[in-house]
Amino acid sequence: MEDPRSPTPQERDKVVEFLDTQLRPNVSWSIAEEYPLAFSKDKIKNSKIITENSLPIAHAHMETLLIKTPLGLFKVAAIGSVVTHPQFRNKGLSQKILNQCLKEAKDQLCDFAILWTDLFDFYRKLDFELAGHEYSLKIPLSWKNKPLPENFRFLNSIKVKASEILKIYNTHRTGTLRTAKDIENFLKIPNTSLFTAWDKKTNQLLAYAVEGKGADLTNYIHEWGGKVSAFIPLLQFAQSHYSQSLTLIAPRHSENLIRQMSHNGADLHKGYLGMIRILHPQNIFFKMQRYARQLGYTDVICTCIEDKFVLGYKNDLVGISSLRSLTQILFGPLKLEEAVRIKPQTKEVLEKILPLPMWVWGWDSI
């Protein structure tokens, strides 16, 4: 049994077959179709495997995302498809592979790593913590009976130019940098439904909503965009195609949309963005201080001193010793004043920066 390593291009088919057997045994498509960017021949090197007799027995994939935010670009290591063959479990192989992924992510100067799991205790041993914000809004079935505006044309079809979707996607203030080719590939994922709203007079795309992603996110709208005035009617149109309520996944900063949907009967649930492990706190602190200066606050302090992370404003400084606590303070949901005592002015200033407005759209999950 060897140490974790990247597969060679020639091993790509063996890796995909292993993942299909372990993670997608009861579907008619391959995991390579479900994650078209991650498991392409030129990206398979981003996977890590352990082999026995030349066959994969453990695997994890790490995809580097560049995410734009109001604070600037974040380099993020998204980790997923973590699995070990049943015959080789409880031997620490997944932990070995994950440590290798984290080492490479750190070497590549990723700001943090993120993954999605329900094995919270296992990943906390690797300094991951539940953090960030994800709002889920369950759409009432009654929405399907509401009349639709006559000035819009609605479609249920994936035959839409990727460049048109990209134009609206790029209006989001937070999200992974993408190309039209990326979106073309995403639209080919099995079990994907695309709903769109168009202006009848100009034939301009006004809003889009994506439901489903292979074996995941069934009945969830995980990719979407457009003005609220067109998007909410589009949700009504989408809901009319389902017997069960759809759920919209939204970032915390989509305040207007969340407010209007809640006002119209959508059931709101607050959750976490994922499990996050900070890799380069100083890089994140630099972005925070630069953003604070842009807002006119030159005395915001974010730094590492010995074994503590120091945050504060002017002379009101506090030390955080736990990396996992820092993760929840920077990304939410933990507020700094809930963890330590700070002055009202410090609270007021830091609330303009924290929690960091971070978001990962559904197509980017691994």
Asked which of 205, 238, 271 is the last residue of a domain, the reply is: 271
Per-residue pLDDT of the chain (366 residues; tens, 9 = 90+): 789 999 999 999 999 999 999 999 999 999 999 999 999 888 999 999 999 999 999 999 999 999 999 999 999 999 999 999 999 999 999 999 999 999 999 999 999 999 999 999 999 999 999 999 999 999 999 999 899 999 999 999 999 999 999 999 999 999 999 999 999 999 999 999 999 999 999 999 999 999 999 999 999 999 999 999 999 999 999 999 999 999 999 999 999 999 999 999 999 999 999 999 999 999 999 999 999 999 999 999 999 998 899 999 999 999 999 999 999 999 999 999 999 999 999 999 999 999 999 999 999 998
CB 286, CB 72: distance < 8 Å: no
Residue 234 DSSP class: H
Residue 241 is assigned to a structural domain of this protein? yes
- Locate 62 and state its tokens: 């790490």
Residue 194 is assigned to a structural domain of this protein? yes
Say whether both 225 and 159 belong to one domain.
yes
Asked which of 225, 254, 271 is the last residue of a domain, the reply is: 271
Say whether both 15 and 76 belong to one domain.
yes
Of residues 126, 207, 198, 135, the one with CA closest to residue 169? 207
Say whether both 171 and 242 belong to one domain.
yes
Say whether both 140 and 263 belong to one domain.
yes
Say whether both 80 and 142 belong to one domain.
no
Asked which of 271, 301, 323 is the last residue of a domain, the reply is: 271
Say whether both 194 and 214 belong to one domain.
yes
Residue 2 is assigned to a structural domain of this protein? no
CATH for 70: 3.40.630.30
- The domain total for the chain is 3
Residue 322 is assigned to a structural domain of this protein? yes
Residue 88 is assigned to a structural domain of this protein? yes
CB 361, CB 175: distance < 8 Å: yes
Of residues 53, 23, 55, the one with CA closest to residue 38? 23
* Chain length of the chain: 366
Say whether both 31 and 58 belong to one domain.
yes
Say whether both 68 and 182 belong to one domain.
no
Residue 219 is assigned to a structural domain of this protein? yes
Residue 118 is assigned to a structural domain of this protein? no
Range of the domain at 182: 135-271
Which helix (DSSP H) or strand (DSSP E) does residue 88 occupy? none
- Locate 189 and state its tokens: 């994922």
- Please give the Cα distance from 302 to 288 (Å, whole number): 8
Residue 121 is assigned to a structural domain of this protein? no
* pLDDT value at residue 2: 84
Say whether both 188 and 216 belong to one domain.
yes
CB 304, CB 326: distance < 8 Å: no
Say whether both 80 and 192 belong to one domain.
no
Say whether both 260 and 143 belong to one domain.
yes
- CA torsion sign for 160, 166, 169, 171 is negative
CB 237, CB 224: distance < 8 Å: no
Say whether both 208 and 254 belong to one domain.
yes
- Please give the Cα distance from 215 to 31 (Å, whole number): 9
